[in-house]
Copies of this chain bind each other. A is one copy, B any other.
Amino acid sequence: MLKFEEQKQIESVNGALALRPEIEIIVDEIQQRGFDGIFFIGIGGTWASGMQTEVYMRGRSSIPVYVENGAEFITTGNKRFTKDSIVIFSSVTGSTEEMVKAIEKARETGAKVFGFIDKPDAPLVKLCDWCISYPMNEQLKFYMVANRLMFNNGEFPEYHQYNAQMEAHLARALVEVEKEADQWAAGFAKDKYEYFKARPDMPHYFVGGGNQWGATYSYAMCYWEEQLWIRTKSITSAEFFHGMLEVIDAETPVTLFMGEDEQRPLAERVKGFLPKVCKNYTVIDTKDYELKGISREFRGSVSHLVMHAVNNRVDAHMEEEFCHPMVIRRYYRQFDY
């Protein structure tokens, strides 16, 4: 399999899950101190991960949790963000301009900052009250924070059972998803190459809701647009029916991301609609994957990770089919703007 290092990927996920005691100490301290709001601040992909965490907690928790876009935070600001607020953020390099400014502004307000910064020597590390440096697995780290917050708040009684399952099975389950998806992904990438060779201007439409929305938005933008230079439009399953549906015809390429959280019915509605007007749609449904050892009631909380695993395979094959190394950038960080 292309770009697939099974053992390394298992270790990466298990290493992230092993951060739990460290995360718990920090979250417990935050909750013991008290706060008026928890703000996940991000930009681009990290903003999308914040959105996934917020929607995960929205229906489950009375804890005041917000998502802020870093660039909006440094311009519009937020009057409800105070010295008693907590910032949680993630950054690979710790150097993204908007994030550095946002964290500086948060500190000036007197708020406390909990950062996940992959690069342990990034200057941004020094601006954190708490910092954990471990590579990748951003969404997993955020959900571990969310789970502990909810457990401490009496909203997640299955916490220990949940963690036991994830720690025993998640890493293996995700590599199995990749293995299962690989052959399908190879065919999908081939089809896409043929399609876009004939219609290079066409955007590919990605639709998804709930914790798939962050996946949908960031997959379309950070992978296909940024890394593959293919046009996309992303839309939530809910909003699809309020305008965007009108531009779908028989040949329009649409991919629907279906997860297993509370918003699944919204994706099901899209799934029911698409075949009536389109022949060129694809449904990626996390339900099609076994996830051995993970109980049904917990599957929704990892649907976005399952989708990410499927898309890892799509990326590997897209990169090859399109002869487009995903590391190259036309503009991003190539010159001043």
A43 touches B238 (CB 8 A): yes
**1/0 per residue A223-240: CB within 8 Å of B?**
001110111110111110
Closest to A227 in B: B246
Choose the segment among A22-30, A58-66, A133-141, A290-298 that binds chain B (4+ C-beta atoms closer than 8 Å).
A58-66
Q: Do B243 and A226 have beta carbons less than 8 Å apart? A: yes
Of the candidate stretches A72-80, A119-127, A162-170, A181-189, the one touching chain B is A72-80
Q: Interface code A35-48, partner B: CB below 8 Å = 1, 0 otherwise?
A: 00000000111010
Pick the contact of A247: B64, B79, B229 (CB < 8 A). B229
Is A330 located at the chain interface by the 8 A CB criterion?
A: yes
Contact A64 B80 (CB under 8 A): yes
Q: Tell me the minimal C-beta distance from A20 to chain B in angstroms.
A: 24
Please report the C-alpha to C-alpha distance between residue A71 and residue B71 in the assembled complex, in whole angstroms.
Answer: 28
Residues 193-248 of A contacting B (Cβ, < 8 Å) = 199, 201-203, 209-210, 218, 221-222, 225-227, 229-233, 235-239, 241-248
A233–B276 Cα distance when bound, in Å, is: 23
Q: So how many copies of this chain end up in the complex?
A: 2
Contact size range, A = 35 or more
A221: contacting residue among B69, B237, B244, B264, CB under 8 A: B244
A272 CB–B CB distance under 8 Å: yes
* A329: interface (CB < 8 Å): yes
B-chain residues with CB within 8 Å of residue A57 when the two chains form the complex: 79
User: How far is the CB of A332 from the nearest CB of chain B, in Å?
Assistant: 6
Contact A243 B263 (CB under 8 A): no
- A236 contacts across to B, CB distance below 8 A: 69, 72
Q: Are A43 and B269 in contact (CB under 8 A)?
A: no
Of the candidates B209, B218, B225, B337, the one whose C-beta lies within 8 Å of that of A273 is B337
- By a CB distance below 8 angstroms, the chain B residues around A76 are 55, 58-59, 210, 261-263
Q: Which of A289-334 contact B (CB under 8 A)?
A: 329-332
Could you say which residues of chain B place their CB within 8 Å of the CB of A44?
239, 241-243
Closest to A200 in B: B201
Q: Which 5 A-B pairs rank lowest in CB-CB distance, beginning with the nearest?
A: A44-B242, A71-B238, A221-B243, A226-B243, A201-B201
